Amino acid sequence: MKGGGFLARNIAAFTQALESVVVTEDLCHAPGLMQGLDPRVKVVTLMLFVILVGLALDFPLLIAIFILTLALVLLSKIPMALYLKRLLIFIPIFTAVIAIPALFITPGAPLLSIAGKTVITAQGARTAGLLIMRVVDSLSLGLLLIFTTPWTKFLQALRCLRLPALIVDILGMTYRYIFLLLHSANSMFLARQSRTIGGFSGAENRRWLGLALATTMIKSQHLSEEVYLAMLSRGYRGEIRTLNELSLRGRDFAWMAFALVTISSMLWSIYR
């Protein structure tokens, strides 16, 4: 049935989004290497690795960074299949938008010619390859941070690193309540499906979806006002306070030393 297929697909999408968050939160508390590090240390060192990726000019270095990231994934007890699945979702999109045009518009020595005309150049292939590997490395480092750091700890680390309190508060509220609204939308889809006999046309489905989106937006507006008033009544004066203080331990200093030595060695290989 048209209506059933439409509802089933959307219910499945909302449910999958909610389940993926639960899986990620569970991994953040696994007894792995990166989970045991101070979030401030992870944010700073992994950001340095991302900067290093942007400076890298050859494939061996980018491949070495990717292998190092995969080793950290294994030591952090993150399922490799789940990690690679999340990583490979973004690569085809990036390849289609940026890397593929670079194959054809970059001038240089012919690599592939058709009817006497150069289609792909060696420099274009190298440029596209470097772009893809840089994106792979940057995304893999970002996913490693996401999979090993609870969202509240990540925001706390950003605040300790002097990110403005307003931005941190907005990020925290967005993350918290976007899933509440997703759950509300999921409930609306389930309620409609449970009361549906037969199918709906495409126009009816679009009309109902528009009403559902409008209802969700109205709910979000009322919810934001209620949450803000509740925060003010509990003493909020521009910055959210946390009960757990961050502190550096021996493993954090050991990881910082390893990361700095590794990054320095790789930088030396680039500019020697």
For 186-224, write each residue's pLDDT tens digit. 777 777 777 777 666 767 777 877 887 788 788 778 877
122-148 and 39-55 helices, crossing angle to 10°:
180
Q: For residue 239, how far is the Cα from the chain centroid?
A: 25
Domain of residue 148, residue span: 2-271
Whole-number mean pLDDT of the chain?
80
Q: Cα–Cα distances in Å, from 56 out to 48, 62, 65, 66, 130?
A: 12, 7, 10, 12, 9
State the average pLDDT over residues 54-60: 87
Structural contact between residues 196 and 3, judged by C-beta atoms closer than 8 angstroms:
yes
Percent of the chain scored above 90 by pLDDT? 24
Give the SS3 label for residue 166: helix
- 102 half-sphere exposure, CB direction, 13 A CA radius: 17
HSE-up of residue 67 (Cα within 13 Å, Cβ side):
6
Cross-strand bridge partners of residue 121: 110
**Mean of pLDDT values over 65-69:** 95
Query: Who wins on pLDDT, 170 or 143?
Result: 143
pTM: 0.75
Residue 6 one-letter amino acid: F
Between the CA of residue 172 and those of 28, 175, 177, 178, what are the distances in Å?
17, 5, 9, 10
Number of structural domains in the chain: 1
CA distance 87 to 110: 32
Number of H helices, E strands in the chain: 10, 2
pLDDT higher than threshold 80 for residue 115: no
